[in-house]
Amino acid sequence: MGAFHGMSLGSLSITSNNSMRESAGVSLDNVTFIPFNSTFNGMDTILYMEQLLTDTHSGVEKPAAIILETVQAEGGINIADTEWLRDLRQLCNDHDILLIIDDIQVGCGRVGSFFSFERAGIVPDMVVLSKSISGYGLPMSLLLLKPELDIWGPGEHNGTFRGNQLAFVAAKAALEFRDTVGLEAQVKEKEAFVQQFLREQIQTMDPLIAIRGLGLIWGIDVSHQGEAFAKEVATLCFKNGLIIERAGRNDTVIKIMPALTISLENLRKGCNIIKESMVQVSSTLVAL
């Protein structure tokens, strides 16, 4: 629940947003959605999954795999607890289920470490990478998998446009650049700035605002203000020179996801635009 994995038919089947799923035009079957993270309305979600797998009357067949984002990006910047991730890895081990991590948005250094799951000390069976892996937005994606899972014969799974040579060159350069400039340390430094800014400049505006994030992906949850408020803030940000997304249920989470290489000056400028826009929208609502 809260998952986003893409808009092609296969990836859409494991995406939870109802409005997006409607675009498929066909039934999206053979997927069971589970509450994300350790607790859901007071329920232990690992225990819930254990019950589904062991109860002969659960109505749920044992899955081939469990797939998740360790930080749900489109889902509203929801961060999985490290203990929950470790328990989920153990659950998969116990029941012979593959664990797949979708690191397309939050991998490649977005949370600091190259893979988003490193903080939990787990090893998935498969990892999906794309977007930033090519270094500069060129078309490229990778599926990393354990060797024993690679059952393809030579040439069995191929295609005319599978290898984009320029993207491979850019990806190699990006990986080298990451080490050369110490990008992980830079992300940690910028993370500290964003976290402090959001806590001191944004959250103090309204105690009901929730702040969530890691590395350089952060969310300002204004669900208590409603969708119209979040949309107006994003619109005003755009008028002031900042392109910003909304995510989460009813698009009420203002999503901060800058380039990892952004300068502190530009990062500060962008954060100030968000603050000024929120202040202006709030004052307009009060005036009304």
Domain CATH code at residue 210: 3.90.1150.10
The Cα 216–Cα 191 span in angstroms is: 6
pLDDT at 288: 54
Instruction: Identify the domain containing residue 198 by its residue range.
Output: 183-287
End-to-end distance of the chain based on CA atoms, in angstroms?
A: 36
Task: Tell me how many helices (H) and strands (E) the chain has.
Answer: 8, 12
Indicate if 123 and 13 belong to the same structural domain: yes
Q: How many domains does the chain have?
A: 2
pLDDT of 78: 96
Q: What is the DSSP string of 27-94?
A: ---S------SSEETTEEHHHHHHHHHH-TTS--PPPSEEEE-SEETTTTSEE--HHHHHHHHHHHHH
Which CATH number characterizes residue 102's domain?
A: 3.40.640.10
164 domain residue, yes or no:
no
Q: Are residues 14 and 94 in the same domain?
A: yes
Residue 176 corresponds to which amino acid? Answer: E
Q: How far apart are CA 248 and CA 231, in angstroms?
A: 12
Rounded to whole angstroms, how far apart are CA atoms 101 and 125? Answer: 8
Q: Which residues contact 142 (CB under 8 A, 6 or more apart)?
A: 128, 129, 130, 133
- For residue 138, the model assigns a pLDDT of 86
pLDDT at 286: 60
278 and 202 belong to one structural domain: yes
Query: One digit per residue, pLDDT tens: the chain, 288 residues?
Result: 999 999 988 999 999 988 899 888 888 889 999 999 988 888 999 999 999 999 999 999 999 999 999 999 999 999 999 999 999 999 999 999 999 999 999 999 999 999 999 999 999 999 999 988 988 788 889 999 999 999 988 888 777 767 788 999 999 999 999 999 999 999 999 999 999 999 999 999 999 999 999 999 999 999 999 999 999 999 999 999 999 999 999 999 999 999 999 999 999 999 999 999 999 999 876 655
What local confidence, expressed as pLDDT, does residue 85 receive? 98
Per-residue pLDDT, 160: 73
Chain centroid offset of residue 114 CA: 14
28 and 110 in one domain?
Answer: yes
Query: What was the pLDDT predicted at 287?
Result: 56
Q: How many CB atoms lie within 10 A of CB 100?
A: 21
